[in-house]
Structure 1
Amino acid sequence: MAESRKSFTVRRNRPKFRERFPMTTSAAAKKTAATTRRPSPAATKVAAKSRPTAKTGRKRTSKADLPREEENKSSQGPVLDLPEGDSLEIEPSRLLLDPDNLRLLERVGETFQNLELKLYGQPSIQKKLFDVINSDPRFDIGSLAASIANNGFLKHERLIVARYDGEKFLVLEGNRRVTAVRRLLEENGPTLQKLRPTVRESLQTLPCFVLKGSVIGTSTQQLAAYRRASEIYIGMRHLMGAKSWEPASRYEFQSRLIFDEGWSASDVAERFGRKKAEVLRDLKAHVLYHDFVKFERANSIEHSLTYNAFAEAARAPVISQWLEWSADEMQYLNRENEDAFFHYLITRLRGASSSSEDTDDDLVPELSAEMAVRRLRDMLRLEDPTIVESLLDRDFKSAEILFEERKEGALPKKIASFTRTLKRTTTEDLTDSPETEARLLELHKQVTKMLSMIKALSGE
C-alpha cells in the first residue's frame, strides 16, 4: 500500500467522506446497536411461548401501540452505509476507463462482455474505450474538453475510483471527464503548452475519491463491492445534487455575461461547452422576451407568456429575418414588425383561451403560444406580400384565410402520395390484380391531359 502512494501526489486537504456524513456511517450504526441490549436465545423462546396467539382475539398491534424505537424502525428504510475513502490527487495517466461503465452498455455491444479483469489495464483495451467515448456524439466530449480547456478541471467534482493494482486506479464515476482530459492531452501534447498555465496546473493531477479497500487485481468480488459502494455515492449525487437550470435562468445568465460583462457568444460557448449557434438562439429568445415585457407595459396589456414561445421564434430563421435581427447590435431592429408579432400572439392566445374552457388554464397559453409562433413562421415562409401586409395591419383573420388559400393544397399532397405508392410497387403487386393495367392507363391519360393544361396556362 505504501509503495503505491509514492508515485502520485497526495493532498489531504479535504475531509474524508465519512467525516462529512458522520451520523449515517456504518460506525454510527454499530455504536447504536452496541448500546441496545439484545435478549438471549432462551429469553426469546420464553417470550415466544408466552406471546398470545390469534385465537385469543387480540387485535394486531397498531403503529400507535409500538414503542418509539420500534415505530422509527418500521418507518425507515434499510441502513445505508456510506463508502469510506480518501481524497487524493492522481495523475491522469494512472486512471483507467471502466469497460463496464453504465453509459457504455448500448454503445459497445459485445466488445467488452466477459472481459477478464486482468485485461482492463491493457493499452489496447483502454484505447478502444477512449475511441468509443470520444467519437460518440451522445457523450459530446468535444464540448466538455473545450470547457475544461477554458476553465480548467473543476476540483470540487471528484472522480470515484478504486485501486486496480499497485499503480493504476479504475474510474467508476467520471469516465467522460477523464476521456475529455485525455483528448486534451492528445491534442496539446503531454506538456499542454498551448493551454493557459492555470489550466495546465489543474490537469497535472485530478481530484479523486479513492474507495477504501484492497486492490481489485483479479477479484470479481472485490470489484463488485467497489461498484456497490460507488453506486451509493453516485445515487446520492444525482438524487440530491444540484438541479439543472431552467431555460429562463440559462438565458438570463448568458445575457448578463454578454451585455454586462462584454463577453461574445463565442466566449460563452467555449467557456461552458456549448455551441455558438445555441448561445445565439438563447440570446435571441431572451431579447425577444424582454421586448415583449416592454410591449406589455407600453400597451397596458397583461398576459402570461413563458420563454418557450420566444425560444420557438428564435429557432425560426424566417421570423428573425422578418424582425430584422442584428448580430452586431444584438437586437431586433424592425419595431413595426415586432409589434405586429406581439399583437398576433396576444390575439391568438385570447382566441385559444376562450375556446378551451375545459382545459387546464396553465397549459393552454404556453401550448397555444408555440402553435401560434409556428403558424406565423409558416405564413412568412410563403413570402406573400398580401399576407405580410395583413399582418402589419393587424388583420390577422384575413392573413390566415389567405394563408390557407395559398399554401400547398390537397392536390400536390395527393400527387406526392400517389408517386410514393407507385415507387414502392413490386412485380407481385402488378400481377395480383387484372385491373391494374387498365387503371394505370387511365392514370396516364389523366396525367398527360393535366400536363398539357399546365403548359397552356404557362404559355409554353
Structure 2
Amino acid sequence: MASNRIIKHLDRLLLDPNNYRFIDKPEYKEVPENELDDSRVQQRTLNFLLGKNNANIKDLISSFTTNGFLDIDQIQVKAVGEKFLVIEGNRRVATLKYLFNEFKLGNDVGKLKESDFKSMNLVEIVDEDPVQHLVSMGLHHISGKKRWNAVNEVQLINDLITKHNKSEDYICDALGISKVKLRRGIRTLNLIQMYKDSDYGDQFESSMYTIFESVIASPDIRNWLDWDNNIYTVGNQTNLERLFNWVSETEEIETDADGNERTSKQEPIISQYRQIRDLSQFINDPQAIKRMEDSRNITEGYAYSDVIGENRLKNALTNIKSEVQAAFNFSEHLTQEDYIEVEKLRSKLDRLIPNSESKVVINDKLMSSYFNSIINHFDDVFIHTYRKLKKIKVKNLSKVNIFAGGNNMGKTSLLEAFYLLSQLNDLNAFLDLEKYRGKFQNDFNAKWIDKNFIDAFEIEGSFNEVKTSLFLSKETTEENIEKSGYLNTINAEASVKDTTLNSSIHLYGNKEAELRFSKSKILCPATFTSPYRYNHTLLKKAHAYAIEEKYFDRVIDFIREHLDSSIQKIEMINVEGESRFVVTSSTINEVIDITKYGEGLQRVFEIALLMVYSRNGIICIDEIDSAIHKTLLIEFTKFIQQTADTFNVQVFLSTHSKECIDAFIKNQYHNEHLTAYVLKNVEGEIKCKYIDGNRLEQLVESINFDIR
C-alpha cells in the first residue's frame, strides 16, 4: 500500500457513509461507491458524525477554535472519481465542514483561517489493501486511544473473519487483542444479530452491547438458552424470546370501564449489564422468573428466590469470620461479662452445625474436577503470555516432562502456567502462587499482588483430549461494591470445551479480599513444590492421603533404603497445638523433628507425598535436584516415574543439573514416556525446544549429550 502527500480543498472531501461508527444505528444502510457523492448521503453522514446539537464533536470544536487546526494526526483519503473519500479522520473532517459553514455565514470560528479549509494537508492512499485498512482502523479504534463503541469494534473483527477469511491468530496478533476477547465479541455480535432480527430489533442501541456480552459470559444463562458456543445457535427459542422481551420496552393493551382500549408502554425489566449477573443467580428458578415477569421488576424475582437467603447467609458468615479475628486480636481486653457473651455466641454457632454433618470431611479436590476420569493429561500447551513468557508452544507432552535451561529463562514460570491452567477459574491457585512468590508465610498482601500483577495471563492447551483455556486480568470493577480501601479486581475466565467458568476476587488494602464465583471447576488435582516454597498445610493433607492410599510405608521404605537405614518411622504429632513431622531412629533415643535432618531427606519426603496426593492429576516440581545428592538421582527419578504410573500423575519438572537429566535416562524406566525441553534466549525471545526420551537416550549414551 503506497501513499502520497497532497493538498486539497475541504469541499473535495467526501465523508465515509460506511464508517464503522455508524453500523450500530438502525437507519444505517451500506452505500455503494457510485453513490458516495450523493448530497443526501453526505448530509446524512455529516449528521451522524455531528450528533444532536453537535454533541459528538463539541470537544473538537473547542480544540479547533482555541488552537486552530493542528496537523498532528494524518487525515487519510483515497481517490473516488474527482473527489477524495476520507478513510481515517472522518470526525475531524466533519468538524471542519461544520466550522467552514459557520465561517461562510460570518460567525466566529476562533483561530481558524480560510486557508485551513482551502488548503488541507492530506495523505492519499494508493492501491489500498482492504485488510490492511481494517487492521489500521482497528489499531486506532480498538487497541488505541480513540475507541469506538464495543459493537463497532467487534463488527470490524467479524468482517476480517467473514469477508477476508483471516484467522483468529492473525487478528489477535495484528490488533494486539486476546483470543478470549475476540471469541467473546464474535459470540456477542451473533446474539445481537438475533435480537436485531426479532420483533424488538428496532430498539437496539450501542449501549445495550454490555447486556448481551454479559449474557454470553454467564454459563447459567447460556445453558438456559441452550446456546452453542461453537456455531452460535440457540436451541431454546422460547427462552430467547423471553430474554429479548426482558431487555426491551413493551406495549400493553388496557381496557377502561367504558370498553375503550388504550396502549401503555412499559420500561425494560433489564436495562443494565449488572442486572444480568443478578438474573443468572435465579434463572433456573421458574417461580422467581414468573414473579419478575409479572412485576416487570428484576428485584422482585431476586428477592423471591432462594438466592437472597443464601447470599445473606454467606455475608453473615464472612462478617463473623472477620469480626472473630478482630476479637481474637484484642482478646486481652476481654472482661468476665465478655466471656459470658462469647459463650452464648458459641452456643448459637454450635447449633448451626448438625451432628450428622459435623464430622464429614469433603475431598474438594475430587468434588470439583471437571472430568469423571482422566485418560490423557496435557498433550500440548500454548502460552500466549505469562510473566516473561510470550508465545511459547510446548508440544508432544508425555508422562514425565523435563525442562532445562539457564538461570532466568522462565522455567519456574512455565511450571506455574501448567499448574494454573489445570486449576481453571479457581483463583485460590493463583493466590497460592503469588503468596509464595512474595515469600509471605501466612496471608498474602493484597497491595503487593495489585502492584506486581502487571500484564494479563493467557494460556490454552489440550487436556484429556479437550481444548481448554485460561485468561487472568486485572481491572477496576464496575460492580456496585464497597469501594472503601478497594484496590482492583482480578478476573479469571476459563473454558473447557463449551463450558465457560468465571470468577473474580476484589482486592482491598484494608480488609480481606472478596472471592466471587457462581461455579468453580478444576481440570484435575495439581500440586506445586519448590525448594524455595514450603506449604505445611498441603503437606499434612498429602500425608493423610498417602496413609489412606496405603503408600506411606513405600515412601518410608525408599528413604530407609537409599538415605538413612536407621530411620524406623516418620509420623505426625501435635506439639503445643502445632502439627509436626517427627522421626524415630534406631540410633537416637528420642524422636526428633524432621527439620533436624538434611534438606535432601526433607525434599524426597515432600515430593513423594505430593506425588501420591496428585493422583489422576499433575505435579510441578521446581528444581527437582536441589539438595539431593547426585548418587541418589537414578533411584529417585525411577521412584518418581513408578509413582507417577501407580497414581496416574503427569509430571512437570525443572532442573539445572545434567546429572539429573542423565539419571532419568540411565534408570531405564520407560524412556519412551520421557520428553525433555530446553529454554533458550534466541535474539531476545525465549524459545522452547523439545527432544523425545528415546532420542535423548541415544544422544546421552553416544556423545554424552547435554540438553542444557
The normalised TM-score by structure 1 is 0.38
Greater fraction of residues in helix: 1
